[in-house]
Amino acid sequence: MAASTAPEYRIWGLRGGLGRGPFVVAYAALCLLPLVVGRLARDGSAGFRADLGAGLGMAAYTMLLVGFFLSGRFQPISGRAGLDAILGMHRILGFAATALIVAHIAVVRSTETGDAGPAAFVAVAVLVLIIVLARIRSRVGMRYEHWRLSHGLGAVIVAVAGFAHATGDGFYGSTTTLRLYWGVLVLGAVASLLVVHVARPAGRMRQPYQITDVTRVAAETWRVGLRPTAGEALRFEPGQYAFLSRHRQPFMGSGHPFSFSSAPAQRPRVEFTIKENGDFTSTIGQVEPGTEVHLDGPYGYLSPARYHGPQVDHGGLVLIAGGVGIAPMMSILRQGANDGRTKPVLLLYAANELDDLAYRDELEAMRNQLDLTVRYILSNPPDGWEGDVGRIDEAYLRTNLEPIAGQNRLYFVCGSTGMLDAVLAGLDRAEVAPPHMIHAENFSVYD
């Protein structure tokens, strides 16, 4: 995930009551636990430098194993903190673990007993390969599905080779207690991969979907409708998203994330709004009705129904969308129209050109169903354009949001990474709403 100019809302902005303090304390305690276990299970000491090196290695290995659970889309974790935040942390902590491993190697090699077996070299080499592939995947044109498979297999190799090194080469790791500790963690990590890549796809095979219609709604942007062909339609909350896979067998890939643009009230039909961009979506407009697809979800925190802040009784909504970021906002608005929502809603909808704006007719019709105000902002408007011109920057936010700053509204932001950074930074400087009332999700963690 790209670094944000307003980090309070992003990677470390844990939501839903899972604050940063408890999370950091729990994570640090888990990483330090093997040090305590190893010290208690072994009499004596290997010396200060050897102990320091061992501690760095054990902490790093624990961080890598915990990473299996952070990247597995497990609802008890991602459902509380937001999957984008969890995956962002997974990346950052992966780099942190690698730095600790480098320090571990440097310190251990400075001791008199600084030799390591082949397992250590295998683990480090594969870990470096994983990091390199993660950084260059998009540049070399590696498909997401192939990268994710290689990432998982590489992680298993690192886990197994790390276990062999920790229990065979280390002064503390050779103890029975610590061997058992590492064994439990490794088995749990591998089991999490089996859940993600085997158990879940098997479940999705029993609930296939069929594409019913593909309709152009804006420039290179398509509305894709689906219905389940077996079982019950996926339950979701307005503003959430799911991973959609066009593979006949869901074991072939985990799919790509798209926000629901339909409302939960429209089930069993579900709808996504997808823009042509990248290897998966470039031909989305050519997909034939009747094509079988699979869904994995729901995920996401960009929903009024998921809000658990200290001021639940909010005074309305402010929805800020850029381009195809209108998708989750349409889900929220459609559900609000179905429920007869009476609280005011302000939609700020930015795009480059007029043809990039989707659902304009429906949004205009919703003014009669909701207390809805819509402001369109174009950076490259046509002649005669009567809407707003420019970008959603700090000045624009001050002009349009300061008049409602005291109404205790919930804010939801969706768009490109650059747009998110600019809007969140602008909201931060404009001080029109407290941070806990602002929610955003960044799909760049899947790039």
Per-residue pLDDT, averaged over 184-208, amounts to 82
Q: Are residues 118 and 199 in the same domain?
A: yes
User: Strands 372-378 and 345-351, how do they pair?
Assistant: parallel
Lowest mean pLDDT of 6-15, 109-118, 181-190, name the range: 6-15
d(CA 10, CA 6): 7
pLDDT for the residue numbered 226: 94
Domain boundary among the residues 204, 222, 239 is at 204
Supply the DSSP string of 248-261, one letter for each residue. Answer: SSGGG---EEEEB-
Q: Please state, as a whole number, how many other Cβ atoms lie within 10 Å of the Cβ of residue 135.
A: 9
Mean pLDDT score, 208-212: 91
Question: Are the CB atoms for 52 and 25 separated by under 8 Å?
Answer: no
pLDDT at 262: 95
Q: Which of 69-73, 234-238, 384-388 has the lowest mean pLDDT?
A: 69-73
- CATH number of the structural domain spanning residue 352: 3.40.50.80
Domain end marker among 170, 189, 204: 204
Which pLDDT band holds residue 280 (cuts at 50, 70, 90)? low
Per-residue pLDDT at 445: 58
pLDDT band for position 7 (cuts 50, 70, 90): very low
Q: Are residues 33 and 171 in the same domain?
A: yes
Displacement of CA 435 from its chain's centroid (Å): 19
Tell whether the model's pLDDT for residue 308 goes beyond 60: no
- In 163-290, the DSSP E strands lie at 209-218, 221-228, 241-245, 256-259, 270-275
pLDDT at 37 exceeding the cut of 80: no
Report yes or no on 1 lying in a domain. no
- The answer to the question of residue 198 being in a domain is yes
Domain match, 235 and 177 both: no
Asked, for residue 423, whether it belongs to a domain, the answer is yes
| Residues 52 and 182 both lie in one domain | yes
Residues 363 and 291 in one domain: no
Q: Which parts of 275-416 fold into alpha helices (H)?
A: 326-339, 360-366, 394-401
Cα–Cα dist 273/260, whole Å: 7
Quick one: 135 and 38 in the same domain?
yes
Averaged pLDDT score across all residues of the chain: 81
228 pLDDT band, cuts 50/70/90, is: very high
Looking at the structure of the chain, the number of domains it has is 3
Nearest to 270 by CA among 246, 293, 252: 293
Q: Are residues 81 and 154 in the same domain?
A: yes
Mapped onto helix, strand or coil, the DSSP state of residue 159 is helix
Average pLDDT (295-305) is 83
Q: Where are the alpha helices (DSSP H) in 257-339?
A: 326-339
pLDDT per position as a tens digit, 110-126: 776 555 678 888 888 89
The residue range of the domain holding 262 is: 209-299
Given pLDDT bands bounded at 50, 70 and 90, which one contains residue 19?
very low
Q: What does the block give as tokens for 59? A: 């902490």
Q: Clarify whether residues 417 and 270 are in a common domain.
A: no
Note whether 120 and 68 are same-domain residues: yes
Distance, C-alpha 4 to centroid of its chain: 15
Contacts of 80 (CB under 8 A, 6+ apart): 14, 15, 16, 17, 18
Could you report the per-residue pLDDT of 61-85, keeping only the tens digit for each? 888 888 887 776 666 665 555 666 6
Does 446 score more than 70 pLDDT?
no
Tokens of 41: 């299970």
Average pLDDT of span 297-310: 72
Q: What percent of the chain has pLDDT over 70?
A: 81
Report the candidate in 317, 326, 350, 321 with the shortest Cα–Cα distance to residue 433. Answer: 317
Which of 155, 174, 204 is where one domain is finished?
A: 204
> Residue 170 above 70 pLDDT?
no
CATH value at residue 273: 2.40.30.10
Element at 389 (helix H, strand E): strand 388-389
The dihedral of CA 54, 60, 63, 64: what is its sign? negative
Token duo for residue 9: 């809302």
